[in-house]
Structure 1
Amino acid sequence: MTLDLVLIGLAITLEPFPVMAFILVLSAEKGVRKGLVFILAWLACLVLVIACVLLFTGGTPPKANSAPSTGALAVKLAIGVGLIGYGVHKRRSTNRPRRAPAWQAKAHEVSPWAAAGLAVLLQPWGLVAAGAATVMKADLSHTASWLVLMLYCLLATSSLLVMELYATFRPRAATARLQSLRTWMTDHQEQAVVTLSLLVGFWLAGRSISQLV
């Protein structure tokens, strides 16, 4: 469980679209406050999903080869295959001209409520679902499971937290550097999405198949 959640958490935090949106939110008036709202909404989604899974399992992992255990593996396998297919599709369409999403043009003018909505909308829900299927293995009778869940949430939010702290304590330097980062990510977002999708997809599919057989 630990290795899977670490990988999924890193993939979530490296997703380019939420990072680019967060940079635009930080560039808005009172951007640090709106960035904090974005982070809180982002974390709330992760915590809510984890809480729902733990309520379903009662904090006790299902027995091996049981219906819930097999179902969780099937979900991870489906997500893995879906990520592979998405990565292949994006790779084939990389050279096609694309327009920036409409929300990017107005993201720097968002209200706090809109910032929270962006956090929910742009969360990579496929990866979050893969994390939820993995959390089913959590045994809350062990302190290590609590620590792993906390680590997962922190990893999945780490890029946003770093940018928020940077903008808080070094606002002038952060403005220029974060805009440079956004420009770089705009130029390389397709490659990043393809790489993350294929890496995580093959990992989830391979792990799920090995455990199912």
Structure 2
Amino acid sequence: MVLDLVVIGTAITLGPLHNSAFILLLSSRRGVRKGMAFLLSWLANLVVVIACVVLLTGGEPPARHSAPSTAAASAKLAIGLGMVLYAAHRRRRPPRPHGPPRWTARVDGASLVTAAGLAWLLQPWALVGAGAATVVAADLSSLTDWLALAGYCLLATLGLIVMETYTLWAPAAAGTRLDALRIWLERHQEQLIVTLSLLVGLWLAARGIYELVA
């Protein structure tokens, strides 16, 4: 479980779409506050998903090859295959010019509530779902599993935490460097999405198959 959560959490934190949006929020008027609203909402989303899974399992991992464990493994396999197919689709489609999303023109006037809602909209839900399928195996009587869940949430939020802290303590330097990072992310968005989707998709599919047949 721990290794799966590390892979999923790393893929979430490296996603180019929400990182670009977060940098735009930080560079806007009241950017630090909007960034904090986005960050806390993002983290709350992860915690809520984990809490729902734990409530369903009662904090005890299901027996191997039981209906819940089979469903979780099948979900991993399905999500993994879906991500691989998605990567292949995006890789094969002809390149298109990417303009900035419409909402970026209104980012300066966005409220804290809007910034928080944007975090839920930009969550990579396939990866969050894979994380939920992995958390099914958590044993809350074990301190190690508690630490693994906390570490997963922090890892999936790490990029946002670093950028928020950097902007808070060194706003001038952060503004220049984060804007350069945003431009790089936008230029390489397709390659990043395809690569992350393919690698994590293959990992999840392999883990799903292993858990089904082992």
Letter of the 1:43 partner, please give it. Answer: L
- 1-structure distance, mates of 2:39, 2:16: 15
Aligned partner of 2:113 in structure 1 is 113
Report 1:180-191 matches (<5 A). 180-191=180-191
Can you list the C-alpha shifts for 1:128-179, whole angstroms capped at 9, x where unaligned?
0000000000000010000000000000000000000000000000011110
Q: Secondary structure at the match of 2:25?
A: helix
Does 2:68 match 1:68? yes
- 1-structure distance, mates of 2:30, 2:100: 24
Aligned partner of 1:59 in structure 2 is 59
Can you list the C-alpha shifts for 1:62-105, whole angstroms capped at 9, x where unaligned?
00000000000111111001100111111112623333322233
- 1-structure distance, mates of 2:197, 2:140: 30
Aligned partner of 1:79 in structure 2 is 79
8 Å contact kept, 1:26–1:108: no
Report 1:1-213 matches (<5 A). 1-93=1-93, 95-213=95-213
Q: Secondary structure at the match of 1:110?
A: coil
- 1-structure distance, mates of 2:4, 2:108: 34
- 2-structure distance, mates of 1:94, 1:182: 23
Give the fraction of aligned pairs with identical amino acids, expressed as a percent: 59
Unmatched runs of 5 consecutive residues or more in structure 1: none
8 Å contact kept, 1:138–1:145: yes
Letter of the 2:130 partner, please give it. Answer: A
Larger displacement relative to structure 2 (100-109 or 195-204): 100-109
Number of aligned positions between the proteins? 213
